[in-house]
């Protein structure tokens, strides 16, 4: 089952067969919105607007844990994150798509893990995205007419303000980042904890503030580019079922077994209340231990 998290400008998904907006409850709170479910060419799809329809959530108030948890509860195995971003590279121009493969997390106000006191776990995010899924997104985006860059480092900032010129230069020149956005983290970390394959498609809308010929970020220009990107992003999603195939093979990167050796808390020291909240996210491992 493919889960799609739509960012700014992508608040619905047309063309789903049997489309229905569904309420899904999570012990981590309410997700950003109802979840649109249906099928594309026989493949189950679950679509969630990250900011909610009407764009009610800022990057800092998006309920990231509830969003990932509800997708997992629905049976999602593969998550495609689609969102707007700024570019630090001349060659990565507004309108281009970047298949993100690395992150630098500068967010400071968000819950970043499903685990904690009562059940401690440490997962690896050395390679935070799924290669198989990212390659499929790249091929689908190219087929939709987008110019695609395969690989890029995403600077996740807190927002909601855009970067200062000094910050933009730092991220570009010293930290060697390629794009900047406000929602890539902790979403990618949480997807890994939930053993979901995760790919991030960053749709470039601007050059942040470093570019001498473009100056500060202009929201009006961003919206115009966002509209064109959103149409290609939806076409990309529609092409994914055919590329991914009907059979869900084990992930070659091991995303679907990220918790195999990650939980450190001894079974007799685990908090029952915490375990109940983790029934969807970590049920595969916790149920096996219980048995």
How far are the Cα atoms of 47, 83, 94, 147, 159 from residue 90, in angstroms, in the given order?
32, 19, 9, 14, 23
In the beta sheet, which residues pair with residue 102?
153
Q: Which two structure tokens, joined as six digits, stand for 169?
A: 């230069």
* Residues with catalytic roles: 206, 208
Nearest Cα neighbor of 124 from 9, 260, 13 is 260
Q: Where are the alpha helices (DSSP H) in 77-155?
A: 131-143
Of 204, 207, 208, 201, whose CA–CA distance to 228 is shortest?
204
**Strands 179-181 and 2-6: what pairing?**
unpaired
* The token pair that represents 48 in the structure block: 């969630």
Distance between CA 227 and CA 274 in Å, rounded? Answer: 42
List Cβ neighbours of 144 (8 Å cut-off, separation of 6 or more).
232, 233, 235, 236, 239
Q: Please identify which residue in the block is written with the tokens 């915490």.
A: 274
């Amino acid at each position: 089952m493919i889960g799609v998290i739509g960012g700014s400008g992508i608040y619905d998904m047309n063309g789903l067969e049997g489309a229905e907006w569904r309420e899904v409850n999570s012990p981590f709170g309410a997700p950003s919105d109802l979840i649109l479910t249906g099928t594309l060419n026989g493949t189950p799809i679950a679509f969630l607007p990250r900011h909610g329809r009407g764009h009610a959530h800022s990057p800092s108030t998006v309920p990231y844990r509830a969003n990932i948890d509800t997708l997992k509860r629905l049976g999602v195995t593969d998550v495609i994150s689609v969102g707007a971003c700024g570019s630090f590279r001349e060659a990565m121009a507004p309108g281009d798509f970047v298949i993100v493969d690395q992150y630098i997390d500068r967010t400071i106000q968000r819950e970043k893990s499903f685990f904690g006191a009562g059940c401690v776990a440490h997962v690896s995010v050395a390679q935070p995205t799924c290669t198989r899924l990212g390659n499929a997104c790249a091929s689908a985006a190219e087929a939709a007419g987008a110019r695609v860059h395969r690989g890029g480092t995403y600077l996740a900032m807190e927002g909601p303000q855009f970067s200062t010129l000094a910050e933009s230069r730092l991220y570009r020149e010293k930290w060697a980042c390629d794009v900047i956005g406000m929602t890539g983290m902790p979403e990618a970390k949480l997807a890994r904890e939930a053993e979901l394959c995760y790919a991030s498609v960053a749709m470039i809308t601007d050059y942040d503030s470093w570019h001498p010929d473009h100056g500060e970020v202009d929201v009006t220009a961003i919206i115009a580019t966002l509209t064109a990107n959103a149409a290609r992003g939806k076409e990309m999603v529609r092409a994914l079922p055919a590329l991914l195939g009907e059979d869900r093979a084990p992930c070659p990167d091991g995303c679907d077994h990220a918790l195999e050796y990650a939980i450190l808390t001894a079974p007799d020291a685990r908090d029952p209340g915490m375990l109940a909240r983790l029934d969807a996210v970590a049920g595969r491992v916790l149920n096996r231990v219980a048995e």
